[in-house]
């Protein structure tokens, strides 16, 4: 996805009463004269936002419905890059997003003051105390039952049918939270990466490329292939 686009410099000025004022005093540019700064325009943001989905990891995913014209630049190697609006990736790989049932699970739980991921974390800490967990473990039905019981105990008031239809999301949370609670940060990060389509796409390109130039070429060809199969839509 396109990055936030931070290309400005702020300076802090001291004021009376131990207060400070932050003022933008400079902008920085790449060697070709490109600024990546994305200035926030509420009206433009509203026009571009076709909907805000939620990724399986919980982050919002912006789905724009209009194409924004941006100034083109060429690097010394001849690649086209764009000014303003952040850094646009050579290959767009959208993250997996929550289904309607999975979003319903989150919504109902939060309506009753329970964050599903936090509840799974607390279940994982308790589970790890009494059970031996090995890296690469499989999520089993008893684990799901334990998580559902935890949600019930915390007052989430989630219907079992909705919970069962959200199995993919529940299994993802169990996988990463139990990995962290029982095995530590590094196994947790590895577990999260295994289920991350963006990481998988990047790893595949890196394995196939033997140089930075080859990597950029592979990414460009993959983007063209995906654009052709989808019948339109830019990848940059």
The pLDDT of residue 50 is: 45
Asked whether 82 and 72 are in contact (CB, 8 A), the reply is yes
The 3-class secondary structure across 135-150, one letter per residue, is: CCCCCCHHHHHHHHHH
Q: Token match 């589970």: residue?
A: 127
Please give the average per-residue pLDDT across 180-202, as a whole number.
92
Q: Where is pLDDT greater, at 64 or 148?
A: 148
Q: Above pLDDT 70, what percent of the chain?
A: 85
* pLDDT tens string 31-56: 888 888 876 554 554 444 445 678 78
pTM: 0.69
Query: What pLDDT does residue 4 have?
Result: 65
Please compute the mean of the pLDDT values over residues 115-137 and round it to a whole number: 96
Higher pLDDT, 191 or 56: 191
Q: For the range 230-233, what are the long-range contacts, defined as Cβ-Cβ under 8 Å and sequence gap of 24 or more?
A: none
Residue 100, pLDDT > 80, answer: yes
Q: Across residues 13-41, what is the average pLDDT? A: 86
* Percentage, residues of the chain above pLDDT 90: 53
Record the tokens describing residue 235, joined without a space: 């990848």
pLDDT of residue 3: 67
Angstrom distance (rounded) from CA 177 to CA 124: 6
State residue 48's pLDDT score: 46
- Output the pLDDT for position 46: 44
CA–CA separation, 64 and 122 (whole Å): 36
For tokens 């105990």, the residue is 153
User: What pLDDT is stored for residue 126 in this prediction?
Assistant: 97
Q: Which of 155, 146, 143 has the alpha carbon at shortest distance from 115?
A: 155
How many residues are there in the chain? 236
Q: What is the pLDDT of residue 223?
A: 87
Contacts for 14-19: CB closer than 8 Å, 24+ residues apart: none
Q: What is the pLDDT of residue 209?
A: 95
CB atoms within 10 A of CB 218: 17
Res 76 pLDDT > 90: no
SS (H, E, C) the chain: CCCCCCCEEEEEEEEHHHEEEEEEEEECCCCCCCCCCCCCCHHHHHHHEEEEEEECCCCEEEEECCCCCCCEEECCCCCEEECCCCCCCCCCCCCCECCHHHHHHHHHHHHCCCCHHHHHHHHHHHHHHHCCCCCCCCCCHHHHHHHHHHHHHCCCCCCHHHHHHCHHHHHHHHHHHHHHHHHCHHHHHHHHHHCCHHHHHHHHHHHHCCCHHHHHHHHHHHHHHHHHHHCCCCCC
């Amino acid at each position: 996805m396109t990055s936030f686009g931070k290309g400005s410099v702020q300076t802090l000025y001291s004021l009376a009463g131990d207060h400070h004022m932050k003022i933008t005093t400079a902008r920085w540019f790449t060697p070709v004269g490109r600024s990546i700064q994305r200035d926030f325009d509420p009206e433009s943001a509203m026009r571009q936002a076709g909907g805000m989905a939620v990724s399986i990891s919980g982050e919002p995913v912006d789905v724009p419905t209009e194409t924004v014209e941006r100034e083109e630049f060429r690097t010394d190697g001849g690649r086209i890059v764009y000014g303003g609006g952040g850094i646009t990736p050579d290959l767009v790989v959208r993250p997996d997003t929550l289904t309607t049932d999975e979003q319903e699970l989150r919504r109902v739980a939060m309506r009753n003051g329970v964050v599903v991921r936090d509840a799974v974390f607390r279940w994982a800490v308790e589970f790890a105390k009494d059970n031996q967990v090995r890296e690469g473990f499989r999520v089993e039905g008893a684990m799901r039952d334990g998580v559902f019981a935890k949600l019930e105990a915390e007052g989430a008031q989630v219907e079992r049918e909705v919970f069962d239809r959200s199995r993919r999301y529940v299994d993802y949370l169990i996988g990463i939270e139990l990995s962290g609670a029982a095995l530590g940060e590094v196994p947790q990060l590895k577990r999260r990466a295994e289920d991350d389509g963006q990481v998988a796409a990047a790893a595949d390109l890196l394995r196939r490329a033997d140089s930075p130039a080859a990597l950029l070429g592979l990414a460009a060809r993959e983007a063209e292939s995906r654009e052709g199969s989808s019948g339109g839509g830019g990848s940059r």
